[in-house]
Amino acid sequence: MHRYKDLKFWQLSRTFCKDIYQITNSFPDSEKFGLVSQLRRASVSIPSNIAEGASRKSNKDFARFLTISLGSSYEIETQLLISFDLGFIQQKQLENLQNILDQIIKMMSKFISTLKI
């Protein structure tokens, strides 16, 4: 078992999740069940899967859950680009969120490569 709360990418993913919730507050009401819901669910999925995977007994299981978190990260990246294309977020917001997401992805990918599976 791993201490997920000590993992920098888990900590950063929690902050990122909060950022997603805050930024989607300004999306149009018509997107409540569209992009808002998708972005929020995927952003919650990142730290949640890290935590769930850390509770598993094997590194192989943990790596599988981290891979799911990576998938959610790339899903969010696409949804942010679509949000930008639709004018729901501005270039600066997109760049800031992408920067944080890139950090999470890099840290998580590096960590996965250190797991002995």
Q: Each residue of 30-40: pLDDT tens digit? A: 999 999 999 99
Q: Each residue of 93-102: pLDDT tens digit? A: 999 999 999 9
CA atoms within a 13 Å half-sphere pointing along the CA-CB vector of 108: 32
- Residue 32 DSSP SS3: coil
Q: Whole-model pTM?
A: 0.92
The CATH code of the domain at 4-114 is: 1.20.1440.60
- Residue 6 DSSP SS3: helix
- Cβ atoms < 10 Å from Cβ of 6: 9
Q: Are 112 and 66 in contact (CB under 8 A)?
A: yes
